[in-house]
Structure 1
């Protein structure tokens, strides 16, 4: 996505700032104050509660918290945060374990690096536990992991909830017969593939990746599964970049994320 002024180009696990970005809209690369979780407050019993926003370090500002919204007249748009309790120490540990690297893989990009999360055994366990707690009783038989970081989180979740793990891969990576789904990128298109026979009609699936940006890969995975009669129960990610509006690309498929990455 590109705008003529104050534009921000987004790719994968990163934010790309164009030279035209105004100083007032630029993303700070200096270290932010330590993580703070804001408790939800409502002005009345009928008011819609504000779900917690978990900020990643190395940022100075945070976007508004996503809310679960349901409309009878519009397409259902559902995004949930990890826990109702904003003081859950696991969320703070996960957020503080994710590193933001400026100018990687090229200048102007802020890369959301989960390798530091994987080095922290407690934070990694907390991440898996939060997903397992959510999905263990939802009769999910398929955990579909998106290449490549979905391969990290998907298998332990699948084992814990008694589901099979199905890899969703880029073209020419799977050795057997595949079905394919093309999806659009910022420039051009890409393709996602899944083995024929990996899933069966009537199964219930969880689609998982480390991060949702524009939502293209998650959307392609959903279409692949639905084409063979699989019900997608939910999509799940560790990190979300709300400013890229990937949630909108998922239609009425629900999305669950652990932490929000603040944007510009």
Structure 2
């Protein structure tokens, strides 16, 4: 099954109680959850219970939003490798904030695994899971442009929102460029998983693909910026249109519920 950016973005156009919430409230709730998860003690027996309660709350919101669970899993797995490498090395690292270590297994070259390192690695994994789930929920229930507008309303500097706006508008353009390159490679019978082809040659072709995409992106950026200047863009130009939006009672209930759950987990 091939998944495209359009398929994933279509999830944010669904109509559910979570989708109808104000974007500012969802961004603030996501930030609060991430800050709470990160600020938990490094080593504490109650960490797993607290993080499990928050994860259950996030999963319930995913089900309430009627999101495609397969797409949610794909997004989660796409982000997981970025933190997994740091988590996997923790059993072999002796952190300075841990006083005593109990050896779990001795490995060659003087490397040893410790129970404390494994425990700390599992704690990082639990925190990382909660943070990624909250981000996936946010991105799956908000349109990309609405996310930029909500961030601008919260007072994010216009330079950051301008970069986000450009990324949102041209992300699909670059995706089409990559698909064209991949189609051209397939017509020439290039297969990255071909066992009969030398691995060095395959890596070279992958490098050519990345460099070609970079050059095309750079050229597209120059053309876009020139077009913006021709249309009167300048330092005083408004980068995005922000329509007026008032917070509703439903938004307040959601934010207070999230805050109450976070406060409840502190007492666990």
> If each structure's strand is expressed as a fraction of its own residues, which one has the higher value?
1
- TM interval, shorter chain, is under 0.3
Structure of larger gyration radius? 2
* Greater relative contact order (CA < 8 Å, ≥ 6 in sequence): 2
TM-score, normalised to structure 1's length?
0.24
> If each structure's helix is expressed as a fraction of its own residues, which one has the higher value?
2
TM-score, normalised to structure 2's length?
0.24
